[in-house]
Amino acid sequence: MNTETYDDIFSAALSLSPSSKVMLAEHLLKSLDDDKQEEIEKIWSDEAERRVEQIEQGEIKTINKDEVFQQLNLKRKQ
């Protein structure tokens, strides 16, 4: 691909709406390594399901966002 074509495509991409840019970025990333991406998505999906199950069974305690940020701020000050 020559530089002019790349520049045209890049300019067109920049003119997209934010949601269209996200969709384009996702498709481009997925095209780089589709097999690996499917494996990564499966691993994250399994992890999310495991965490939801742990929460529902009371195995782990959730923390609201305000408490998380408060703890982070305290750690930064140390």
Q: What angle do CA 14, 19, 20 make, to 5 degrees?
A: 55
Rounded CA gap, 27 and 13, in Å?
13
Which pLDDT value is given to residue 36? Answer: 80
Please list the rounded mean pLDDT of every run of 10 residues in the chain (78 residues). Answer: 85 94 90 79 94 95 92 89
Rounded CA gap, 70 and 24, in Å?
36
Which pLDDT value is given to residue 29? Answer: 83
CA distances from 40 to 34, 49, 54 (A): 10, 14, 21
- Hey, what are 37's tokens? 């991406």
